[in-house]
């Protein structure tokens, strides 16, 4: 406890020993042209002063208030007042939200040469798969009749049937969150800090961050704790850059920091377009994945055809985008696609607001109201600018945006530049620009400067100078011109050849044998005159087959069965025939005797 009490006094007593670690440095101050209003005086009123000036993003305006009163202390006069436009933010409300995954799709199919109950329209068309041992997150059946039956031993006139199960699982178990962003509100964040220079070091006296909405009416806020300084920001209207409203997505990270947002073609919460992200949804209550109206969608998007039915070889394709296996890559973050965005992320875990921070923007026109002020005691201060050398190139990216890619060496402050029409210094100037390096000490910095389309192809002479230097003191360099090809991102779905597994398919069974004996089957699928001749030939073959079957049964099978199964019956029939023959011979002998006796008696 004693150590905790004495530690602040120890640090305060030895500022030089701790200054390297806790060194305070004011920001780089820019030159500030300002308009100062006349002080207003009334009966019993105090003098006041209003100053109006423009300020850019990440720039700082610095001034001192020098009190002419002899009784004022030197410390109050040495205070350095700084106003920095730290950030410009867009706060987008989230109006829709749902979770989805990238589906990893697998098609398991088998082919039947003949129609069976195992593969039929009633068991495979517009149906979900029955729950089985294999764990999937969505499974739907599809049916493809009238397929090729060239390899089938007994080909059906209707062709073979192909039955498939379309199985879905989230790719790498990753989950994404889609959100719809509405129109934003615009806020400017200012930072007011006062510094005091004492004992050869700067001390931070007062610090006050101020957030002001700038797309409404003019706002007024006090800078200091005593209310002597007030900041007035007028309504600004629409900013030069704004992230368009619409659907965006981010990778879900439960319990961790949310990633940035990405832009892609994404379904609204009420849509199920398989050519856009978000058609494979996740239920919030149980975490299961599904395809809305999946049985119908599977029928519409899945294509399959038989290559060899007997060998169970087929090809499959999916008329959809954003699925695996296939070509799917995450699009870049919006800050990588738009250079004017410094960061775009959700405000917190509730995911109800997305804050877009700008890295560049137009100047704000602000007013500074000083109570008890006069025109004579406000002194604006600024640091000098410097540049040692630079290099870079003129770039046209894949989205046809023109940039000057600059690499600055030992630079600080405001730097002015110009671009000539060619490599010659005598060529006309076609564009001028200014860049800012906000560090107080000279540093190396890389910058992207937007350029107009008038900066056309070819190497250009570019000259730069510090703001305080004359134009003839500029340093110049010839920069190359690079142009990237337009970005073409067309996803082509290809057919994939696969092999199915069905050990019981295409084997002769009792049902298939009885089904082939049905004569009504010959008259199915009559669609043309050629089909009529084919059916007539099939009918003739059917009749000839019946005749041959009849003769085979009556002339061969039945006698053979009688000989093999009933030998006693055959012997009895032979004996009965012999006995019948003997009785017939006796009757004939008796008749002859009767005739002889009758003749002798006469």
Instruction: Of 104-118, 277-291, 370-384, 445-459, give the lowest mean pLDDT range.
Output: 370-384
What SS3 class is residue 537? Answer: helix
pLDDT of 520 strictly over 70: no
- Confidence class of residue 380 from pLDDT cuts 50, 70 and 90? confident
Instruction: Of 319-333, 472-486, 492-506, give the lowest mean pLDDT range.
Output: 492-506
Report the alpha-carbon distance of residue 373 to residue 371 in Å, rounded.
Answer: 5
Which of 28, 361, 323, 370 lies closest to 186 in space, CA to CA? 361
Q: What is the pLDDT of residues 186-219, one digit of tens each?
A: 999 999 999 998 888 889 988 999 999 888 778 8
pLDDT of 1 strictly over 50: no
Q: What is the pLDDT of residues 48-64, one digit of tens each?
A: 778 888 888 889 999 88
Question: 2-94+185-241+355-381 is classed in which CATH architecture?
Answer: Sandwich (2.60)
The residue that leads in pLDDT, 18 or 553, is 553
Q: What is the pLDDT of residues 150-193, one digit of tens each?
A: 778 765 667 889 999 999 999 989 999 999 999 999 999 999 99
pLDDT of 368 strictly over 90: no
What proportion of the chain, given as a percentage, has pLDDT over 90? Answer: 36
Report the alpha-carbon distance of residue 360 to residue 151 in Å, rounded.
Answer: 68
With a CB cutoff of 8 Å and minimum separation 6, the contacts of 169 are 103, 104, 106, 136, 137, 138, 289
Which of 372, 361, 385 lies closest to 441 in space, CA to CA? 385
The overall longest dimension of the chain from CA atoms, in Å, is: 199
pLDDT for 69 equals 57
pLDDT for 5 equals 43
What SS3 class is residue 207? Answer: strand
Which of 512, 494, 496 lies closest to 504 in space, CA to CA? 512
Over residues 298-316, mean pLDDT: 91
Over residues 249-274, mean pLDDT: 87
With a CB cutoff of 8 Å and minimum separation 6, the contacts of 495 are 303, 315, 316, 317
pLDDT for 285 equals 86
Q: What is the pLDDT of residues 132-153, one digit of tens each?
A: 756 678 899 999 998 888 778 7
With a CB cutoff of 8 Å and minimum separation 6, the contacts of 391 are 406, 407, 409, 477, 479
pLDDT for 77 equals 59
pLDDT of 525 strictly over 80: no
Over residues 496-506, mean pLDDT: 75
Q: Let me know: does 68 contact 377? Beta carbons within 8 Å.
A: yes
- Confidence class of residue 74 from pLDDT cuts 50, 70 and 90? very low
Bridge pairing between strands 160-170 and 103-112: antiparallel
- Confidence class of residue 261 from pLDDT cuts 50, 70 and 90? very high
pLDDT of 602 strictly over 50: no
Tokens of 380: 């604006």
Q: Report residue 21 CA to chain centroid gap.
A: 45
User: Topology of domain 389-483, per CATH?
Assistant: Immunoglobulin-like (2.60.40)
The residue that leads in pLDDT, 37 or 344, is 344
Q: What does R_g of the chain's alpha carbons equal in angstroms?
A: 47
Q: Let me know: does 95 contact 357? Beta carbons within 8 Å.
A: no
Tokens of 112: 């039947």
pLDDT for 15 equals 43
Q: Is 408 exposed, middle or buried (0-12, 13-18, 19+ CB in 10 A)?
A: buried
pLDDT for 385 equals 92
Report the alpha-carbon distance of residue 17 to residue 27 in Å, rounded.
Answer: 23
Report the alpha-carbon distance of residue 457 to residue 164 in Å, rounded.
Answer: 56
Mean pLDDT score across all residues of the chain: 81
Over residues 540-559, mean pLDDT: 84
pLDDT for 508 equals 56
pLDDT of 92 strictly over 90: yes
């Amino acid at each position: 406890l004693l150590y905790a009490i004495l530690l602040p006094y120890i640090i305060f007593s030895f500022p030089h020993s701790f200054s390297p670690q806790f060194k305070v440095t004011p920001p780089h101050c820019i030159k500030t042209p300002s308009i100062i209003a006349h002080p207003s005086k009334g009966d019993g009123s105090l003098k006041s002063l209003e100053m109006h000036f423009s300020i850019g993003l990440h720039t700082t305006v610095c001034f001192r208030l020098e009190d002419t009163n002899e009784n004022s202390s030197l410390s109050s006069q040495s205070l350095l007042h700084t106003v920095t436009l730290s950030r410009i933010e867009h706060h987008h409300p989230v109006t829709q939200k749902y979770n989805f995954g990238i589906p990893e799709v697998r098609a398991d199919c088998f082919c039947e040469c003949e129609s069976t109950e195992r593969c039929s329209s009633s068991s495979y068309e517009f149906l979900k798969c029955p729950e089985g041992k294999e764990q999937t997150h969505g499974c739907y059946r599809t049916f493809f009749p009238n397929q090729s039956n060239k390899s089938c031993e007994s080909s059906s006139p209707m062709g073979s049937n192909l039955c498939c199960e379309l199985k879905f699982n989230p790719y790498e178990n990753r989950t994404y969150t889609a959100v719809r962003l509405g129109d934003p509100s615009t806020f400017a964040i200012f930072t007011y800090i006062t510094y005091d220079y004492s004992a050869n070091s700067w001390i931070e006296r007062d610090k006050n961050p101020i957030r002001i909405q700038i797309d409404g009416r003019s706002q007024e806020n006090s800078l200091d704790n005593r209310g002597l300084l007030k900041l007035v920001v007028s309504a600004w209207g629409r900013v030069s850059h704004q992230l368009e409203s619409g659907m965006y997505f981010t990778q879900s990270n439960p319990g961790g920091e949310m990633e940035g947002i990405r832009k892609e073609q994404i379904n609204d919460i009420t849509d199920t377009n398989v050519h856009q992200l978000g058609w494979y949804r996740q239920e919030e209550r149980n975490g299961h994945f599904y395809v809305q109206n999946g049985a119908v969608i599977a029928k519409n998007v899945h294509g399959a055809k038989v290559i060899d039915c007997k060998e169970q070889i087929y090809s499959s394709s999916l008329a959809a985008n954003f699925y695996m296996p296939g070509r799917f890559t995450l699009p870049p973050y919006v800050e990588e696609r738009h250079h004017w965005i410094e960061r775009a992320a959700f405000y917190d875990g509730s995911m109800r607001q997305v804050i877009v921070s700008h890295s560049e923007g137009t100047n704000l026109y602000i007013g500074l109201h000083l109570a008890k002020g006069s025109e004579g005691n406000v002194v604006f201060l600024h640091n000098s600018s410097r540049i040692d050398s630079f290099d870079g190139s003129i770039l046209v990216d894949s989205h046809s945006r023109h940039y000057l890619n600059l690499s600055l060496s030992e630079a600080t402050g405001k730097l002015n530049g110009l671009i000539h029409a060619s490599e010659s210094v005598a060529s006309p100037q076609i564009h001028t620009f200014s860049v800012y390096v906000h560090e107080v000490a000279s540093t190396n910095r890389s910058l992207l400067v937007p350029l107009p389309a008038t900066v056309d192809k070819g190497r250009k002479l570019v000259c730069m100078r510090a703001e305080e230097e004359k134009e003839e003191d500029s340093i110049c360099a010839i920069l190359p011109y690079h142009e990237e090809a337009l970005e073409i991102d067309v996803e082509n779905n290809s057919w994939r050849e696969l092999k199915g597994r069905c050990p019981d398919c295409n084997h002769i069974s009792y049902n298939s044998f009885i089904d082939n004996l049905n004569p009504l089957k010959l008259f199915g699928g009559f669609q043309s005159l050629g089909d009529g001749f084919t059916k007539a030939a099939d009918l003739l073959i059917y009749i000839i087959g019946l005749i041959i079957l009849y003769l085979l049964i009556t002339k061969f099978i039945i006698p053979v069965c009688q000989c093999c199964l009933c030998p006693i019956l055959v012997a009895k029939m032979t004996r009965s025939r012999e006995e019948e023959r003997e009785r017939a011979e006796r009757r004939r002998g008796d008749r002859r005797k009767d005739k002889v006796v009758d003749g002798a008696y006469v």
